[in-house]
Chains A and B, each alone.
Chain A
Amino acid sequence: MNLLNKFKDPELCLNILDQIKSEIQGEFRFMEVCGTHTVAIFQSGIRTLLPESIIHVSGPGCPVCVTHDREIASYLALAEKDLILATFGDLIKVPGPGGKNLKAAQAEGARIKIVYSAFDALKLALDHPQDKVVFLGVGFETTAPTVAATIKMAAEQGVRNFSVLSFHKLVPPALKALAADRDIQVDGLLLPGHVSTIIGLEPYRFLAEEYQVPSVIGGFEPLDILQAILIMIKQKNKGRPEVVNNYKRVVPDQGNAKAIETMYEVFRPADALWRGLGIIPGSGLAVAQRYEQFDAALVFDQELPQVDEIPGCKCGEVLKGLISPDQCPLFSTRCTPANPVGPCMVSTEGSCAAYHKYRL
Chain B
Amino acid sequence: MPERIILDYGSGGKASQRLIKNLFMKHFANPGLNRMDDAALILDLQGPLSMSTDTFTVDPVFFPGGDIGSLAVHGTVNDVAMLGAVPKYISCAFILEEGLVMDDLERIVQSMARASSHAGVQIITGDTKVVPRGAVDKIFINTTGIGLVVADPAPSGHRAEPGDAILISGSMGDHGLAILSHRQGIAFETDVLSDSQALNHLILRLIREVGDIHVLRDPTRGGLATTLNEIAQQSDLEFIIDQELIPIKEAVEGGCSFLGLDPLYLANEGKFICILPESLATKALDIMRNDPAGQDAAFIGRVAEGRNGKVVLKTALGGHRLLDMLEGEQLPRIC
- Which parts of A97-119 form the interface with B (CB within 8 Å)? 114, 116
Selected interface stretch from A24-32, A86-94, A182-190, A275-283:
A86-94
- The answer to whether B333 and A89 have CB atoms under 8 Å apart is yes
- Chain A residue with Cβ nearest B331: A89
- A338 to B335: give the CA distance in the assembly, Å: 23
Residues in B with CB closer than 8 Å to A337 are 327-328
Q: Is A357 an interface residue (CB 8 A)?
A: yes
Residues in A with CB closer than 8 Å to B332 are 88-89, 116
Across the interface, A142 reaches (CB within 8 A) one of B315, B324, B331, B335, namely B335
| Given known contacts A138-B334, A143-B334, A194-B335, A48 and B319 CB-to-CB distance under 8 angstroms | yes
- The answer to whether A49 and B334 have CB atoms under 8 Å apart is no
- Which parts of B306-335 form the interface with A (CB within 8 Å)? 307, 312-322, 324, 327-328, 331-335
Residues in B with CB closer than 8 Å to A195 are 335
- The answer to whether A358 and B331 have CB atoms under 8 Å apart is no
The binding surface of chain B is classed by DSSP as loop
Residues in A with CB closer than 8 Å to B327 are 336-338
- The answer to whether B331 and A48 have CB atoms under 8 Å apart is no
| Given known contacts A116-B186, A338-B327, A14 and B333 CB-to-CB distance under 8 angstroms | no
- A42 to B184: give the CA distance in the assembly, Å: 29
Q: Is B260 an interface residue (CB 8 A)?
A: yes
- A336 to B335: give the CA distance in the assembly, Å: 23
- A139 to B333: give the CA distance in the assembly, Å: 11
Residues in B with CB closer than 8 Å to A64 are 334
Residues in A with CB closer than 8 Å to B314 are 45
- The answer to whether A10 and B317 have CB atoms under 8 Å apart is yes
- Which parts of A47-72 form the interface with B (CB within 8 Å)? 47-49, 63-64
Residues in B with CB closer than 8 Å to A13 are 317
Residues in B with CB closer than 8 Å to A88 are 332-334
- A59 to B186: give the CA distance in the assembly, Å: 32
Interface size on B, residues (CB 8 A): 24
- A139 to B184: give the CA distance in the assembly, Å: 21
Q: Is A204 an interface residue (CB 8 A)?
A: no
**Nearest-Cβ distance from residue B244 to partner chain A, whole angstroms:** 8
Q: Is A205 an interface residue (CB 8 A)?
A: no
- A156 to B56: give the CA distance in the assembly, Å: 43
**Nearest-Cβ distance from residue B137 to partner chain A, whole angstroms:** 15
- The answer to whether A48 and B335 have CB atoms under 8 Å apart is no
- The answer to whether B335 and A14 have CB atoms under 8 Å apart is no
- The answer to whether A63 and B335 have CB atoms under 8 Å apart is yes
- A336 to B324: give the CA distance in the assembly, Å: 12
Residues in A with CB closer than 8 Å to B333 are 36, 88-90, 348-349
- Chain A residue with Cβ nearest B332: A89
Residues in A with CB closer than 8 Å to B335 are 36, 63, 139-140, 142-143, 194-195
- The answer to whether B321 and A222 have CB atoms under 8 Å apart is no
- A14 to B318: give the CA distance in the assembly, Å: 9
Q: Is A128 an interface residue (CB 8 A)?
A: no
Q: Is A248 an interface residue (CB 8 A)?
A: no
**Nearest-Cβ distance from residue B183 to partner chain A, whole angstroms:** 10
| Per-position binary interface string of chain A over residues 14-46, scored 1 when its CB falls under 8 Å from any chain B CB and 0 otherwise | 100000000000000000000010000011111
- The answer to whether A358 and B322 have CB atoms under 8 Å apart is yes
Across the interface, A63 reaches (CB within 8 A) one of B184, B319, B322, B334, namely B334
**26 CB-based A-B contacts, threshold 8 Å:** A8-B316, A10-B318, A36-B333, A43-B315, A43-B321, A44-B317, A45-B318, A49-B317, A49-B319, A63-B334, A64-B334, A88-B332, A88-B334, A89-B331, A116-B184, A116-B186, A116-B332, A138-B334, A143-B334, A143-B335, A336-B327, A338-B327, A348-B331, A348-B333, A358-B322, A360-B312
